[in-house]
Amino acid sequence: MRLPQPDAFSPEDLDDGVGMLSADPSQILEWSGTDRPRAEWDYEEVEGWRQFLAQARARENEKAPPLSDYVITGIGVTAIVIGVGLTAPVTGVPALVGLWVGGAGSLATLAGAVKLVRHNNRSNTRLCIIDQAQRLLEARLLSHNAPPDS
């Protein structure tokens, strides 16, 4: 992958780059040129990739689940509360309606919560990929900046 303009990383560039790294985070070494002998490194390119990873991490941290996921969960919790209130009269139609409303609220809460957890898992996975790529790149830079073994 070629490095996009460092000052103009688009959200699509960041998402695409992290998507490609998800297959193999060590690709960052090839992309940055640090897989070659140290004399061939272009330090501006390496610094560009460090900036890319930092911006990708910041973008991933800024992403939030859609508002609709929170709304679905909130409506479900509200329905559960209403359903419980309607079941207070132990018998009759209001209790039956209360059970149905509470059940529907439980399903809505579950659906919203599942969507929120999926988003959280996806985001955490992408953050782990970015961290792994950053660590690989930093380890490569540190290993080549260490004094030679005698």
Q: What radius of gyration do the chain's Cα atoms show?
A: 25
Q: Can you tell me the mean pLDDT for 34-47?
A: 84
DSSP state of 12: H
70-128 pLDDT tens trace: 898 999 999 888 888 777 766 777 778 888 888 899 999 999 999 999 999 999 999 99
Measured torsion, CA atoms of residues 2, 127, 15, 21, in degrees rounded to the nearest 10: 40
Per-residue pLDDT, 38 = 81
Q: Mean pLDDT, the chain, as a whole number?
A: 85
Distance CA(19)–CA(129), nearest Å, equals: 9
Whole-structure pTM value = 0.75
Give the 3-state secondary structure of residue 122: helix
Distance CA(108)–CA(126), nearest Å, equals: 27
56-79 pLDDT tens trace: 999 998 888 888 888 989 999 998
Q: Which of 107, 99, 115, 100 is nearest to 77 (CA)?
A: 107
